[in-house]
Structure 1
């Protein structure tokens, strides 16, 4: 594997699922990683109990890893949801969640929060949802700015009626919210989702590397570990690095191996540490 100087971390919401959630940070550390990211750990609770938040924070701290990325509440990602911040009937859940999420980030030094836009819903004009989504992201950005953090916007693949499908569509939201005064909003460039949607990865990197604040990867098709699909992930990562990207690369794939650690063979042990 080519060394592009990029730092890798593990998404513990999609990897290590053979273990209870609070055991996954330690498992990532045992596999050689110094950093992790999570989707919102409580898909049915925008505001979990303090004891549950404390247990999550302790699991990260006790494992000796850094939480570099965390999703805001986005509903049941394994079910029908894909974000709530642009959904009129649910946007208050997002607002209630913002301070909790940023509070976790403040305790753990997290500096990137992913804000999933939300599916299209019947009876609401797309333009109204788009406006609400931008307003919600601006609210989140204001809260994140208190701790020097960035709010991320990404394109997503799959059958759900999620409106941001291409890099251009996600970056348009980033640009609009920035233009409204929130400078701490960036593009989450997910190589798998863009490829699955048929977007041009080379063009996305060439045009939007300057607004890319976080990167995630999985191979396509299949969303497995690198080498299980047809994407030239090493070339794309090299292009990102040459374009000036020096942030984190989150491993957000579904292992095709018997256990999660077996799926890391493509990444030498010495490349897993952020040190």
Structure 2
């Protein structure tokens, strides 16, 4: 069953982190995600999720300093990456989160060194996930200097690691790269473990840009995609209005409407 996941780093940013869970449930989301939710202890997070009928779909393993966008490819930061990964893995297991995203990071030095460090850290992280029920995600992100910048590179790396991790597909980044999101999903759905939704241009809610989300939904449903769909966009209007598209998405995605949030809407 497909969960519709609110990225509560982007959404509900005007309220305290702990209050964003109830706000997401109220508006019809059935899961949440956040890169670093650690201000809420894992036991408390699990209780809040259970009370609201929410899942937690993915977290990162450490963003690094402002602007670094991850640590996995940064030479000389291996110990920091691994400590952050261990913390995230423990937290993910405690709250029932199925995915960790070890963000690659923005390269400021040599790209060759970054590639070697990235692959070494990914291999180490994959070994640490064995037997935990948690899988890794890799995402192509179109931030200048970000090491993993294209869908092709992400897919090639996935194959090099015998598909031991899944891809995080983002509709906005795909459009920036000149890809047709629906066509790419239809051809590569077996690679995808998590989906991010934002329109292009502007990175706002669906319907504010040029992406054909009807075609993307048809591609996901037609391929039998059952993973979470995360909404990682910048709201252009208040969230109570912004989230109104969810009712239509639930009708179009098999199983999505059957997931009760436990909150009266």
Q: Is the 8 A contact 2:137 2:167 kept in 1?
A: yes
Aligned match for 2:16, one of 10, 17, 20: 20
State the Cα distance separating 1:41 from its structure 2 match. 3.2
Q: Using the TM superposition, give the Cα deviation of residue 7 of structure 1 relative to its aligned residue in structure 2, in angstroms.
A: 3.2
Match of 1:38 among 34, 37, 60: 34
Cα distance, 1:224 vs structure 2: 0.4
Cα deviation for residue 52 of structure 1 reads 4.5
Structure 2 residue 217 is the aligned partner of structure 1 residue 237? yes
Deviation at 1:204, TM superposition (A): 2.4
1:135 aligns with 2:120: yes
Residue 256 of structure 1: CA displacement?
0.5
Of 57-66 and 223-232, the range deviating more from structure 2: 57-66
Partner residue in 1 for 2:154: 170
Structure 2: distance between partners of 1:229 and 1:200: 14
1:103 aligns with 2:99: no
C-alpha contact 2:61 2:88 (8 A) present in aligned 1: yes
How far, CA to CA, are the matches of 1:41 and 1:109 in structure 2? 14
- The CA distance in 1 between the partners of 2:124 and 2:96, in whole Å, is 20
Give the structure-2-normalised TM-score.
0.86
- Which of 114, 127, 140 aligns to 2:101? It is 114
TM-score by structure 1 length? 0.84
Runs (4+) off by over 6 Å: none
2:120 & 2:27 partners in 1: Cα distance? 40
Hey, what's the Cα distance between the residues in 2 that align with 1:202 and 1:230? Answer: 13
Cα pair distance change 1:121/1:57, threshold 3 Å:
farther
Alpha-carbon RMSD across the aligned residues, in angstroms, is 2.3
| Distance in 2, Cα, partners of 1:242 & 1:184 | 24
In the TM superposition, 1:251-266 aligns within 5 A as 251-257=231-237, 259-266=238-245
Query: Which runs of no fewer than 5 residues in structure 2 stay unpaired?
Result: 251-255, 260-265
CA contact (8 A) 1:6 1:241 kept: no
